[in-house]
A and B are shown apart, each in its own frame.
Chain A
Amino acid sequence: MGPARCSGVGSGNSGAYTTEIAESLRFEEEIHSIVHPSLDSSPAAGGSFTALLGLPANQAVELLHETGPSEAPGSAAAPSPTGELWRLRLGEHAAGPLHLPLGCSPTFPSNAALVERAARFSVFAAEDSPALSSGGGPSPRLKAEPLDSDSPPLLPIPTEKTQRPAKRKECEKSKAKGPAKKSKSAEENTAAAAKETAAENTDGEKLPYVHVRARRGQATDSHSLAERARREKINARMKLLQELVPGCSKITGTALVLDEIINHVQSLQRQVEFLSMRLAAVNPRIDFGGLDSFLSAECGPLATANGRGGVALDPALWSSHPVTANGARWLPQPQIRHVDVWPTQQSSTAWTRDGPAHPHALLNPGASLVGYDPASSVLLNSNQLKTEL
């Protein structure tokens, strides 16, 4: 979703800036949502980090605003590097696209102070907020040297840093290894500073292969990258399962979530067994010939309601059917009234707990439904049922 949007923006003209700004704001929200659960170092640092995140985003927006009205070609060029940056390239320099703003925007040196402030704030700090607010001691100096040499290409950096949430633990590691990277070229540093995980790309769309840009100080070997991709896949699946199983979205922690999933699966299996027992008690009377299509039509809205929907629409539907002479087949009605008889989960848990004693009480709503219909038509229909035997 991200790359597609960015590349679309890159192809537009300066009028596309509003979309870019909206995008950066949206990414900020994404970052907030991602950073908050993924933080395990300290909640205080996390709060300060997200507070810091707000600033660079605004500054990036300001920067974009400033460069926007000044030159159209520069503005057209600026989104495209960010658009291209979204596309991850293994081991490739991002120097190419970054050079474009170098040439086209002479306003950059004037923003050096702003850029430096943004750079300072965009340092992903494991340090506490007071250390950062006091000027950030050694950390900005770490970044100042590589930054001074390439202030121009830093325009995309604040947006990059805000737009690339990455993983916090790895960012802390990367900060420690910052000085080690001074020997590398400036472009490579800034390029390596932002890590684009496969998560944002592969969650929505399926790329033919995943390009990953190495993070600063992070190992670029295929093993860790593949492991990270694998972990992202597993986390995505866990989230899906959490949404599926009722009452699981509030739970944090893999073990508890798996607990809930296991309980849910066991309860469903018990339900199946109980239902088969009841069917065994009821079944010998009736053999259904043409009812399957009818039942499938009926179950349409019910099954989509997450299995919570009620079941006995049949008597209501039977009354609305035209009584046919042969009675062999019923045409499924196009409009189906979606009525919840009783939530299956409640009833099923009652069944599993109390056994056969409860079904009689539970059957009353079903019986009342039957009572709503004109008795004659229902009798006719059931007679037609029995003729199929």
Chain B
Amino acid sequence: MQVTRTFKQAFLEQMLLGFRVTDVSSKRMSFQEKKSVIKLSADVALAVARGSRKWTRGLIANLSMEQQKRQLPRMILVKQYERLMKPCGSTSWKIPRSKKILRKCLRVSSTRRKKKLCAVEKRRRVLRRLVPGGESLSGFSLLDETLDYVLSLRAQVCLMQSLLMTCEASKRR
């Protein structure tokens, strides 16, 4: 339903663009480097193709934090997307602090349902760590972003598989 043709096209275009920019076809890079570059390219492509959502912004933020030098060529391409992200990104960082404080208060005050909350809360915490940008989300928005993220991940896996098959099939000839 969400995996439209435009999404797939945008993803593949961005990924191939990333390949070209980082010059992955060259022989100079090591295997590990190539792998990380391809993964980076795939993640950026996913975020760009999906548009502006909380997890996409978190994803790009994480990626740009991890590899500063590698991200620069990518940032040049994604500049227009970054401009979309910037105004929303700064405001969302103030929210997690207040939400965390609220959550702590709620946890302290609710003693009756403590046991039930613990089991679910632990899993919610794990989910928050898994979903990019999920630290600031809670409750409904967490589930919403998870839903979107799962759908996009599935599409990413499918597209990468098709890309791989094409490469391998043509390589065999």
- Which residues of A approach B to under 8 Å, CB–CB? 230, 233-234, 237-238, 240-241, 244-245, 254-255, 258-259, 261-262, 264-266, 268-269, 271-273, 275-288, 291-293, 295-300, 302-304, 306-307, 309, 311-312, 314-315, 344, 348, 363, 366-367, 370, 378-379, 381-383, 385-386
Contacts and interface: CB of A to CB of B under 8 A. Distances in A.
Nearest to B171: A285
Nearest to B26: A284
Which of A268, A275, A279, A292 is packed against the most chain B CB atoms within 10 Å? A279
A306 B151 CA distance: 9
B164 interface: yes
A230 B173 contact: no
A319 to B, nearest CB: 12
B interface, how many residues as a size bin?
Answer: 35 or more
Nearest to A294: B166
B5 interface: yes
B157 A344 contact: yes
B158 A299 contact: yes
Chain B residues touching A, majority SS: helix
B102 interface: no
Contacts, number: 183
B167 A258 contact: no
Interface in B92-142: 119-120, 123-124, 126-127, 130-131, 139-140
Given A276-B35, A300-B5, A286 B157 contact: no
Given A287-B25, A295-B159, A278 B12 contact: no
Contact of A279 (B27, B154, B156, B167): B167
A363 B165 CA distance: 9
B77 to A, nearest CB: 16
A295 B166 contact: yes
B155 interface: yes
A276 B38 contact: yes
B129 to A, nearest CB: 10
A311 B168 CA distance: 12
A237 B170 CA distance: 42
Given A234-B139, A272-B39, A288-B16, A241 B160 contact: no
A382 B170 contact: yes
Interface in B63-94: none
A314 B164 CA distance: 11
Given A254-B120, A258-B124, A370-B172, A303 B158 contact: yes
Nearest to A306: B154
Given A234-B140, A344-B157, A283 B167 contact: yes
Contacts of B61: none
